């Protein structure tokens, strides 16, 4: 594996301009790291998640948020230890590489990049969806929520703004994001207080049934209504770890702190949304929830209950919240592609930095990818369902890497050591596998196409690099990743035969989840047993430590 930072000989540039000795710049402190994660968590999810969840699960959506929060906390705890051990940029794409070698690293690196690259378009879709409230934005969306020609142009400009701010450097980025994040936290908290104090009806939770769609609705809501999507983002502190001033101390704090803040805000939002609804809105059943302005759920609800001034605040925040999240995910995309290149899965062009220490080529590719994403996915929720699966598939690599590294490198320094890690890590992998399964066959079949595309792109480049003997050509380590195709194909097969999202339903409810649990535990045990030997793992990370000590 190539070192984390590209150190140039005197007079040689790694970037696009005539400068020397370029590297990622360590300007980010604890607040900047935490706000990067919180700013990603509090995005379009709070604008739409409560409405989508209650339509899928009824008032039992509050249980869905609880389950989702537990799942994210388990994954965040695992990431906190890994982030402290290996404070490298694009960390979620690199931990599986350390533990299982090139093939696993390439796979989870692609999942990471796919997830990050498609979040910014989701946020743009959310901004445009809420903007329909204003007459000037009425022509941006068709009746089926697809973008019109003018809407596509506006979406492209918004993507360009995200990229432009990123080109100013990480210091400007984190300052901009910190300002936006303060607003993004204040507005939801203020909304919670106002709705709870002025329009809260406890009877709404039981008058039409607390769980009208049963356990299946509660579980499906976790993956498909935006709950997991809303809570994702804690890893952003890890993705920019290479630019942290004190990563071993600050990264675990930032990861866990951001999850705590996000979970509290989203759960309270769901409660007040249900409690503030007029009975007429769900008279036909929770799945037929309807009221004027429902396309912008919280703002529309504020208008219906006579809080027009609050609706105006929410429509303004509908630009700020998704915008801040799209901004930081654009950053993340370029850092993940930087890490992919360092590990030899993508051309070295992605490692080139401009004079501000920004991976400029990765930013351009993230812009192009974002624009393409506006084409095949017509609505926010379809994008959310797709990206949730990609996200959790990405996160599933961390518990496996955690288990392997605990087994192979038990004495290695850890700034944060997870208590009961031997139990929490396999539990996190099981939960990640269940969330992927709950997404349903309709979404996973499309995700499978994206996975195949990734293998063609990254695998094709890796084969080219190996054949040409390029300096960053990866070692694929097939033996250490022998479990991976079995996991992907097996999970897909269970989904096809299960009852979620257009599955055949041949595997009955609960039996399917028991099967996923047993299958995931089997894969976990298999993976940590065939992981790379300790000496090979140490060799993979040695270059990172040597350069990190002297590269800045």
Point out the least confidently predicted range of 144-148, 254-258, 314-318. Answer: 144-148
At 161-203, the pLDDT tens digits run: 888 887 776 666 666 666 777 777 888 999 999 999 998 999 9
At 442-489, the pLDDT tens digits run: 878 878 888 888 888 888 888 888 888 877 777 778 899 999 999 999
Mean pLDDT across 208-215 = 90
Say whether pLDDT at 242 is over 80.
no
Say whether pLDDT at 3 is over 90.
no
The count of domains in the chain is 1
Structure confidence at residue 89 (pLDDT): 60
Note down the domain range covering 35: 30-536
pTM of full prediction above 0.95: no
Structure confidence at residue 376 (pLDDT): 53
Structure confidence at residue 106 (pLDDT): 85
Cα–Cα distance, 191 to 309 (Å, whole number): 11
Structure confidence at residue 80 (pLDDT): 79
Q: Tell me, yes or no, whether 358 lies in a domain.
A: yes
Classify 25 in phi/psi space as left (phi over 0), alpha (psi -120 to 50) or beta: beta
Q: Tell me, yes or no, whether 12 lies in a domain.
A: no
Say whether pLDDT at 76 is over 90.
no
Structure confidence at residue 120 (pLDDT): 85
Confidence class for position 241, pLDDT limits 50, 70, 90: low
Structure confidence at residue 44 (pLDDT): 66
| Burial group, residue 284, by CB count within 10 angstroms (0-12, 13-18, 19+) | exposed
Task: Give me the residue label for tokens 């930013």.
Answer: 363
Structure confidence at residue 519 (pLDDT): 97
Q: Which two tokens stand for residue 549?
A: 């000590």
Structure confidence at residue 222 (pLDDT): 85
More confident residue, 490 or 172: 490
Task: Note whether 14 and 361 are within 8 A (CB).
Answer: no
CB burial readout 193-203, b (16+ within 10 A) else e:
ebbeeebeeee
The residues near 214 (Cβ < 8 Å, ≥ 6 apart) are none
Say whether pLDDT at 342 is over 60.
yes
Say whether pLDDT at 306 is over 80.
yes
Structure confidence at residue 257 (pLDDT): 83
Q: Tell me, yes or no, whether 543 lies in a domain.
A: no
Q: Tell me, yes or no, whether 20 lies in a domain.
A: no
Cα–Cα distance, 204 to 207 (Å, whole number): 6
Say whether pLDDT at 399 is over 90.
yes
Structure confidence at residue 400 (pLDDT): 95
Structure confidence at residue 20 (pLDDT): 39
Task: Note whether 374 and 155 are within 8 A (CB).
Answer: yes
Cα–Cα distance, 511 to 96 (Å, whole number): 30
CATH number of 219's domain: 1.20.1740.10
Q: Tell me, yes or no, whether 57 lies in a domain.
A: yes
Q: Tell me, yes or no, whether 21 lies in a domain.
A: no
Q: Tell me, yes or no, whether 432 lies in a domain.
A: yes
Structure confidence at residue 6 (pLDDT): 30
Structure confidence at residue 263 (pLDDT): 83
Distance of alpha carbon 426 from its chain centroid, rounded?
A: 20
Mean pLDDT of the chain: 80
At 84-141, the pLDDT tens digits run: 787 766 566 678 888 998 888 888 888 888 878 888 888 888 888 777 777 777 788 7
Q: Tell me, yes or no, whether 506 lies in a domain.
A: yes
């Amino acid at each position: 594996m190539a070192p984390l930072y590209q150190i140039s000989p005197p007079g040689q540039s790694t970037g696009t301009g005539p400068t020397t000795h370029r590297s990622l710049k360590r300007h980010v402190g604890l607040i900047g790291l935490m706000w990067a994660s919180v700013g990603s968590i509090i995005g379009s999810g709070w604008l739409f998640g409560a409405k989508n969840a209650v339509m899928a699960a009824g008032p039992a959506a509050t249980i869905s948020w609880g389950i989702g929060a537990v799942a994210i906390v388990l994954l965040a705890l695992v990431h906190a230890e890994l982030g402290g051990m290996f404070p490298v940029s694009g960390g979620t794409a690199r931990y599986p590489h350390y533990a299982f070698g090139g093939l696993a690293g390439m796979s989870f690196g692609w999942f990471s990049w796919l997830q990050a690259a498609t979040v910014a378009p989701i946020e743009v879709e959310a901004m445009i969806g809420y903007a329909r409230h204003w007459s000037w934005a009425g022509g941006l969306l068709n009746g089926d929520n697809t973008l019109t020609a003018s809407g596509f142009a506006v979406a492209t400009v918004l993507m360009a703004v995200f990229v432009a701010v990123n080109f100013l450097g990480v210091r400007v980025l984190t300052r901009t994001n910190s300002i936006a994040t303060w607003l993004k936290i204040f507005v939801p908290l203020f909304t919670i207080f106002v709705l709870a104090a002025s329009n809260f009806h406890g009877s709404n939770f039981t008058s039409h049934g607390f769980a009208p769609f049963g356990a299946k609705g509660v579980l499906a809501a976790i993956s498909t209504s935006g709950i997991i999507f809303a809570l994702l983002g804690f890893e952003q502190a890890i993705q920019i770890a290479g630019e942290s001033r004190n990563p071993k101390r600050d990264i675990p704090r930032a990861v866990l702190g951001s999850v705590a803040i996000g979970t509290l805000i989203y759960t309270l939002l769901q409660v007040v949304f249900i409690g503030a609804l007029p009975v007429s809105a769900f008279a036909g059943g929770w799945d037929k929830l309807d009221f004027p302005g429902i396309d912008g759920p919280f703002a529309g609800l504020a208008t219906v209950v006579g809080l027009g001034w609050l609706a105006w605040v929410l429509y303004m925040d509908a630009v700020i919240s998704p915008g801040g999240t799209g901004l930081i995910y654009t950053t993340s995309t370029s850092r993940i592609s930087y890490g992919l290149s360092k590990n030899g899965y993508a051309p070295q062009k992605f490692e080139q930095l401009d004079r501000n220490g920004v991976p400029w080529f990765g930013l351009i590719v993230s812009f192009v990818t974002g624009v393409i994403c506006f084409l095949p996915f017509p609505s926010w929720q379809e994008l959310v369902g797709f990206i949730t699966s990609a996200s959790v598939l990405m996160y599933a690599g961390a518990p496996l890497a955690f288990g392997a590294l605990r087994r192979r490198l038990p004495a290695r320094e850890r700034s944060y050591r997870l208590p009961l890690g031997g139990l929490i890590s396999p539990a996190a992998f099981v939960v990640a596998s269940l969330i992927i399964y709950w997404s349903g066959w309709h979404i996973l079949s499309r995700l499978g196409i994206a996975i195949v595309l990734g293998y063609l792109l990254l695998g094709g480049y890796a084969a080219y690099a190996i054949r040409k003997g390029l300096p960053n050509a990866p070692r694929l380590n097939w033996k250490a990743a022998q479990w991976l195709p079995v996991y992907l194909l097996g999970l897909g097969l269970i989904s096809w035969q299960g009852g979620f999202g257009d599955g055949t339903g041949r595997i009955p409810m609960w039996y399917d989840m028991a099967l996923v649990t047993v299958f995931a535990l089997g894969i976990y045990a298999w993976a940590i047993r065939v992981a790379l030997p300790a000496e090979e793992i140490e060799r993979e990370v040695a270059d990172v430590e040597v350069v990190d000590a002297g590269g800045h």
